[in-house]
């Protein structure tokens, strides 16, 4: 406040006080926004941020903060029908909400086109490729992983996606198109991973969803690295 008084000698005590409060609140929002990105600390930080915005009368930012604080933790076990996975993009700063929905005993993942949106693909010549294919969303390992407490697997999460150039007659260097052989190879690998976990934990029903989710994410990374390593090979011709 002393600094503000020197910089603005014509301001009243009230003006100096209000400006000092505003600067403190701005700093608090920045700190809470950063804290909100941290696992475990994120939810309480988002709640506090929402309360501060609400006190300030900023309804829009308060809504965003409260929404970000809705926990996905244990959503399946607690019987919820819906859960949201919030994705914050580092480069663009955009935030996307991906929905998990319980339909009977099956989890669905919204629309396959959501991946293109989350990957922020603007080039019409490129496709959004699901590393774990969209057609395999009902695989038992995928379904178990989607029930994870801490990191539920989502088919449209950007980590399960890759922007690839589409193959067509006027775009011969494209590598993406129909890929039934790729799908079959992925399914075979999913079967192997599921069998390994069944043997380790004594049956499908005993597999911890968070462990299944981690295995899938590791497999995602392997597929992404494989595509990068063979960047000119058509997706359907990849060997793994």
What is the per-residue pLDDT across 34-70, written as a single tens digit (0 to 9) for each? 444 333 334 445 444 444 444 444 444 444 444 444 4
Contact at 8 Å (CB) between 148 and 141?
no
pLDDT value, residue 68: 44
State the DSSP code for 161.
Answer: E
Residue 151 CB burial class (10 angstroms; 0-12, 13-18, ≥19):
middle
pLDDT value, residue 53: 42
Listing DSSP states for 54-108 in one string gives: HHHT-HHHHHHHHHHTS--TTTTTTT-SEEEEEEE-TTT--EEEEEEEEETTEEE
Mean pLDDT confidence for 82-111: 87
Does position 71 have pLDDT exceeding 60, yes or no? Answer: no
């Amino acid at each position: 406040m002393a600094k503000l008084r020197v910089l603005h000698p014509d301001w009243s005590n009230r003006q100096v006080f209000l400006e000092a409060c505003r600067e403190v609140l701005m700093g608090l929002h920045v700190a809470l926004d950063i804290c909100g990105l941290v696992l475990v600390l994120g939810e309480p930080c988002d709640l506090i941020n929402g309360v501060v915005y609400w006190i300030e009368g900023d309804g829009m930012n308060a809504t965003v903060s409260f929404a970000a604080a809705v926990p996905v933790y244990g959503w399946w076990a607690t019987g919820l029908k819906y859960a949201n996975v919030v994705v914050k993009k580092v480069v663009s700063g955009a935030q996307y909400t991906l929905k998990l929905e319980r339909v009977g005993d099956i989890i669905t993942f919204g629309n396959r086109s959501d991946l293109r949106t989350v990957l922020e693909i603007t080039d019409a010549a490129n496709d959004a490729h699901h590393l774990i294919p969209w057609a395999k969303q009902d695989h038992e390992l995928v379904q178990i992983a989607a029930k994870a407490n801490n990191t539920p697997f989502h088919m449209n999460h950007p980590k399960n996606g890759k922007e690839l150039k589409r193959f067509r007659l006027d775009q011969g260097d494209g590598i993406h198109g129909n890929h039934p052989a790729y799908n079959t190879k992925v399914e075979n690998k999913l079967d192997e991973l599921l069998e390994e976990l069944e043997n380790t934990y004594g049956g499908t029903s005993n597999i911890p969803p968070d462990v299944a989710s981690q295995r899938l994410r590791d497999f995602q990374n392997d597929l992404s690295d494989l595509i990068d390593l063979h960047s000119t090979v058509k997706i359907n011709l990849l060997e793994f």
